[in-house]
Chains A and B, each alone.
Chain A
């Protein structure tokens, strides 16, 4: 059994111009590791949405990606405001994004639904005033 491969990224909350950088690096690594386009696509979408959410809703956080024999595990942890109503936040179209964020193209309220849709498992741990940790897995073994 091969050792797990891990990647760690600090995601900064103040800089929209680097937003999506961690996702793009992970995508590149997964490509080098020879994963299928479908697996790479699903990880890219899920991680991008989670990374952007940490930037626009939580002032940044940390992203950890682990590649095991069976899955790719993405853990996104922030010390942001937390999500008061997870069920509501998971609904397509629900967004609290402010106008200046929306003018950049965010705020469709599709990020969390995309993360759910493109991963095999997704759990959200969140506490008001403490932060949010989202754990997602994408299976890469048929």
Chain B
């Protein structure tokens, strides 16, 4: 439900995995070891990093989804790994700031 609102507001495009019903919190940041300790189960993680290690961290942290900002995408091998691990990846043309702002507006 919540995710659908965010998807519509930001025109998120699904690159891998399944659309999660809901999410808990939101973390934005690109350093993997910061994300590792900040992203809790069910959170959205907004980043512009797009290599395979993002999938490993999202999987280990049980993130609800990764949202790639500024139209960043991932190569096919990385997206295949995401599918295999059940990690959901979206992309979005907005900046990290705009994504956070719009999620906040949807939640309020």
Task: Using C-beta atoms within 8 Å of the partner chain, give the interface range for chain B.
Answer: 20 to 34
- Contact flag A24-B59 (CB < 8 Å), given A16-B53, A105-B54: yes
B57 adjacent to A104 (CB under 8 Å): no
With a cutoff of 8 Å between Cβ atoms, the chain B residues found around residue A17 in the complex are 52, 77
Proximity string of chain A (9-23) to chain B, C-beta cutoff 8 Å, 1 when within and 0 when not: 000000011011101
Number of interface residues of A (CB under 8 A): 25
Give bound CA distance, A41 to B53, whole Å. 17
Contact segment of B12-20, B33-41, B93-101: B33-41
- Cβ of B56 within 8 Å of any chain A Cβ, yes or no, is yes
Total A-B Cβ pairs within 8 A: 73
Residues of chain A from 1 to 53 with CB closer than 8 A to chain B in the complex: 16-17, 19-21, 23-24, 27, 37, 41, 44-45, 48-49, 52
In the bound complex, how far is the Cα of B36 from the Cα of A24, in angstroms?
Answer: 13
Contact with A along B27-69 (1 / 0, CB 8 A): 0001111111100110000010101111011011110000000
Say if the beta carbon of B85 comes within 8 Å of chain A: yes
Residues on A with beta carbons closer than 8 Å to the beta carbon of B62: 41
| The one of B30, B36, B54, B77 that contacts A48, using a Cβ cutoff of 8 Å | B36
B residues whose Cβ falls under 8 Å from a Cβ of A: 30-37, 40-41, 47, 49, 51-54, 56-57, 59-62, 77, 85
